[in-house]
A and B are shown apart, each in its own frame.
Chain A
């Protein structure tokens, strides 16, 4: 039976795997057609497929010896493959299998059980039993003592459950209160240490999904007397499973809400920080702009003040110049009436001729000084001229002496040699005549100069020294 259940489970998982893959493909196709990709949704779908794939692999590898060990998620989804996330149990958990059953419970197996206790074995069936003995658990069930305490929840209760039974019409019946109390803690105790990622498939596995279990319960009328203890246990387990699922869904929802809240808080903080940063940047920019504006104003003010000071300095200088000019004009005005008033002295006949005389004297002195200067200049010029003349006379005398000497030599040469008639004699005479003319001219010059000098010396020049001549 266990092998058959495993094979069936494997088959179901394979179908579920295919269906989920196709559903994921449909999801991708929808995103492609709509042009809006959602990576998180893709990741979720891929995780669901991976989950089934993992379970399938574990079954194929033989790691799972009991179907109840699987945390199969196929209970969440119908086998038809039209599963999407919204097909899972509602977050509120209000839908479970027992909702599809009448509240009256008149057809449930529990109600059909007599209170005599002969069927109390079923109520106490979730007794702890070794996992290896699960195959014989059903056979041992009647042998268990009926006096076991009812309120004793056992953690290993689901593992005692035999292989899943195909859903019968009467299986998912609501259990009476004591039984449900007894059965509920077991899956919950098993479920609490599970991670939240598995929250969508937390319950211990049975072969049939709750949806499958619920459908026949609604469709066909219950046949209470035909309930077997196994079916009752199965029903109880399904009920507890559904409750655990509801709790898990609620936990998942709360986790999602918490994460969303946390994310929103972080996002809000980031936005606030960003706003503060923007405001700070704006304030800094405004202060920088204000500082630049103040600097421009100060620069313009400085330029204006410097121009004004320059202008003021120029005005002061002009005013000073004007004042000086005014003072000079005033001084001139003051000075001119004094000179005019000084000309006609009231009664001094002696002073008038003295001034004129003094002026004339001064003028004469000036003229005299100028004349003296001119005379001194003329004298110096004459001295230079005289020296020049004396020099030239000396040179002329030297030339004359040289010519005489040359003439004497030529005469001597001529005397020695037979003289030719005419030419030497004539040349000597010409030379003598030229020399005589030069000497005469020089003598006349010297006489003229001496006469001029003598005439200059005759004029009265008291302080001036006379020339060297």
Chain B
């Protein structure tokens, strides 16, 4: 346990998570800009391809989910391993990681 650790999370992990969160934020903005640009192009073409828009929006949604996960890890002080477990549980169908012991330390 370091001096700036929170829960089981080390300062290095916390910093890495913050950096990753910033990256995700930047990526989200970029993706949203691309999505908007795509929409503008479709508007110029006179036809909105909802499949393409949905595909791009799905990317943004996945970025949001990952950002939420990282933010939760920061908030709850999860280690990277715990965060990885949490992410895996989220990927499993029919599970609600928010309910089933998201933080075993608590």
Residues of A within 8 A of B (CB): 18, 20-29, 32-33, 37, 39, 42-43, 45-47, 49-50, 53
- Whether B48 and A39, one on each chain, are in contact in the complex, defined by CB atoms closer than 8 angstroms, is yes
The answer, among A18, A25, A53, for a CB contact under 8 Å with B35, is A25
> Within the complex, what minimum Cβ distance (angstroms) separates B43 from chain A?
3
Tell me the residues in window 59-86 of chain B with beta carbons closer than 8 Å to chain A beta carbons. 60-61
| Cα–Cα, bound, A42→B50 (Å) | 11
| Cα–Cα, bound, A29→B39 (Å) | 11
Give the residue among B31, B32, B34, B50 with the most A Cβ atoms within 10 A: B32
- Whether A42 and B48, one on each chain, are in contact in the complex, defined by CB atoms closer than 8 angstroms, is yes
- Whether A32 and B58, one on each chain, are in contact in the complex, defined by CB atoms closer than 8 angstroms, is yes
- Whether A20 and B43, one on each chain, are in contact in the complex, defined by CB atoms closer than 8 angstroms, is no
Give the residue among A28, A33, A53 with the most B Cβ atoms within 10 A: A28
- Whether A24 and B35, one on each chain, are in contact in the complex, defined by CB atoms closer than 8 angstroms, is yes
- Whether B43 and A50, one on each chain, are in contact in the complex, defined by CB atoms closer than 8 angstroms, is yes
- Whether B32 and A22, one on each chain, are in contact in the complex, defined by CB atoms closer than 8 angstroms, is yes
- Whether A32 and B33, one on each chain, are in contact in the complex, defined by CB atoms closer than 8 angstroms, is no
- Whether B44 and A25, one on each chain, are in contact in the complex, defined by CB atoms closer than 8 angstroms, is no
Question: Do A32 and B40 contact each other (CB < 8 Å), given the known contacts A22-B32, A25-B31?
Answer: no
| Cα–Cα, bound, A131→B43 (Å) | 37
The answer, among A25, A37, A39, A43, for a CB contact under 8 Å with B36, is A25
Residues of B within 8 A of A53 (CB): 40
Residue of B nearest to A39 (CB): B48
Residues of A within 8 A of B57 (CB): 28-29, 32-33
> Within the complex, what minimum Cβ distance (angstroms) separates A32 from chain B?
4
| Cα–Cα, bound, A33→B35 (Å) | 14
Residues of A within 8 A of B39 (CB): 24-25, 27-28, 42, 45-46, 49
B42 within 8 A of A: yes
The answer, among B36, B48, B58, B61, for a CB contact under 8 Å with A49, is B36
- Whether B37 and A42, one on each chain, are in contact in the complex, defined by CB atoms closer than 8 angstroms, is no
> Within the complex, what minimum Cβ distance (angstroms) separates B95 from chain A?
21
B15 within 8 A of A: no
| Cα–Cα, bound, A49→B48 (Å) | 16
Residue of B nearest to A24 (CB): B36
- What are 21 A-B interface contacts by the 8 Å CB criterion? A18-B33, A20-B36, A21-B33, A22-B32, A22-B36, A24-B39, A25-B31, A25-B60, A26-B32, A28-B57, A29-B35, A29-B61, A32-B53, A32-B54, A32-B57, A32-B58, A32-B61, A42-B42, A46-B44, A49-B37, A49-B39
| Cα–Cα, bound, A188→B44 (Å) | 31
Question: Do A21 and B60 contact each other (CB < 8 Å), given the known contacts A28-B35, A42-B48?
Answer: no
- Whether B50 and A37, one on each chain, are in contact in the complex, defined by CB atoms closer than 8 angstroms, is yes
| Cα–Cα, bound, A45→B48 (Å) | 13
- Whether A46 and B43, one on each chain, are in contact in the complex, defined by CB atoms closer than 8 angstroms, is yes
